Structure 1
């Protein structure tokens, strides 16, 4: 009898719900205030990253390996912001928490894709700082615009294939338990918990991607800064050390903004079981804050970008002043 049941389960057709019901923010008290924050964060992220993209794209003096990395990060931030926040805002304004099956898979792909691109870009920028400080005389021989552009092309192709693999494997799962996703987007983890057939392959691929794009990048960045601090220790004067270290401040802040929330959520969830509201808010902040803060960090800590912004503002106001004087 058990063998007949097993055969029936194995030959059972895949159950794919017409839609999923996303309840992530519905139970949060005073959620309207949180949506206001999300709207402000969205505007800052879109405007800030668009300005960074525009300045780097138009200013030839910024066409260097480092700023190709910054351009790539701003592009990923812009993509992640538009993949996450508009869907959350639609839930609030239209009072509709439904998402079709195909739209759910698409949402999952784009959110996970842009997160992996952010993580990999931080690794490339760490390598850029390592070469610039530890091997300054060989910097242009090792890194140039062509090498950096090819690196990011490979990165985008590889990330696309890995995330597409993990998203496509969701189509083999049968969702006969529920169609309610306890998250603020089409989250991979809650979906796996809803599956009623074998999801071991999906879990393996998920853990592999987490190791490749979260654990390994953090470890590589840590090793690169060990090398940087070792190189700085050989510099005789404190002034020269601080000058060299100052070139890493922006990148260190970006790494902290991206990884610290993820680490805090992981530690908190392993120490105690988080409530749904706490988990949703903390996770949504870890998705929202980096795209909002990254352009601010680069504008405030990069003299070249600040100078170019002042020039743009000055050029815009100069004709107005001339007309007034006439």
Structure 2
């Protein structure tokens, strides 16, 4: 990969954390959130895999989302923490492209899984009598595999295009991981093709799942409003509440940062959004999905009690 790139830069410097006046506090902050993310999502995966009552498409998608969230956070945060401990901000050129690839893949996969979960809720609410025949395990597996294929191809495309660029002198990235936008700003070659792909194919990858989510919830809302009893309406909405909260958090960050016309939009805004994507949202997902879900709380209590039992053996 590096051979195809005629670049005089062999490594980059990730300078965001080193430029912050409260480095130690931020280090503890990111470490705590990362540990909470890994522990929370692994507990969700363990609960779903060990409880036969949770072997349904809805929880299958949730287990995949938890797996992606662990991978997403692990792609960026550990490298930043290790660099801080070693007092080094360097990342090699191949390492930077590899990190960019996985960041793009897992961010898109989060997006696609939220759309798949919205479709699952649409079938459950709008076609409850046909749910088991329409949302089969085979269809669920096909939707997840198809999402992985699309996101891998998208990440590979942007990584290969980035590998063709030249980086001549400036190798300082004001970020805590390698992302497409800050890397394009450092390139000394023509980035027109890269930018065009970001604003066409890249936006299409983000907008298509969002439209699917929007349409699904419009149909869900119309179906719920036709339910005569208040209890029935509340039950229907409660099945979608957790997912809707995650969707609002995920896309709320995108809208607040990237669709903000304010001239104050800067690299700090990009970093704030990146922290939300890679750390905060991934950390909150297990809490959001478990606090209002009786089946999930029961499965988690069973897993935790089993761990406590075996620890005393």
CA distance 1:319–1:260, shift in 2 (3 Å): closer
Partner of 1:100: 92
1:209 Cα shift?
A: 4.3
Distance 2:28 2:13 in 1: 22
The answer to whether the 8 A contact 1:27-1:277 is kept is: no
Cα distance change on mapping 1:94 and 1:223 into 2, 3 Å: same
CA distance in 1, matches of 2:35, 2:308: 24
Q: Please, what is the CA RMSD of the aligned residues?
A: 2.0
Deviation at 1:67, TM superposition (A): 0.8
Quote how far apart the aligned CAs of 1:275 are.
Answer: 4.9
> What does residue range 153-168 of structure 1 map to in structure 2 within 5 Å?
153-168=145-160
- The residue that corresponds to 2:45 in the other structure is 53
Residue 208 of structure 2 is aligned to residue 225 of structure 1: no
Deviations 1:287-307 (A, max 9, x none): 211110001111112111111
May I ask how many residue pairs the two structures share in their alignment?
309
Q: Does 1:190 align with 2:186?
A: no
Q: What whole-Å deviation, never above 9, does each CA across 1:89-136 have from its counterpart, x for those lacking one? A: 112111110100000001101111111100000000000001111111
Distance 1:140 1:200, change over 3 A: same
**Which whole-Å CA distance do the structure 1 matches of 2:311 and 2:64 have between them?**
35
Within the candidate set 184, 193, 202, 1:201 is matched to: 193
2: CA distance between counterparts of 1:320 and 1:266?
A: 47
| Residues in 2 aligned to 1:22 and 1:209: alpha-carbon distance in whole angstroms | 27
What are structure 2's unaligned runs of at least 5 residues?
Answer: none
8 A contact 2:103–2:179 mirrored in 1 = no
Deviation at 1:210, TM superposition (A): 3.4
Q: Is the 8 A contact 1:49 1:78 kept in 2?
A: yes
- In structure 1, runs of 5+ residues without a counterpart are 1-12
Does the alignment pair 1:310 with 2:270? no
Q: 1:183, 1:280 within 8 Å by CA — same for their partners in 2?
A: yes
The separation in 2 between residues aligned to 1:317 and 1:165, in whole angstroms, is 46
Q: Distance in 1 between matches of 2:182 and 2:311?
A: 56
Decide which of 164, 181, 184 is 1:172's aligned counterpart: 164
Relative to 1, partners in 2 of residues 1:318 and 1:279: Cα closer, same or farther, differing over 3 Å?
Answer: closer
**Partner of residue 22, structure 2:** 30
User: Following the alignment from structure 2 to structure 1, what is the Cα–Cα distance between the partners of residues 147 and 276?
Assistant: 26
Q: Is contact 1:123–1:217 with CA below 8 Å preserved after alignment?
A: yes
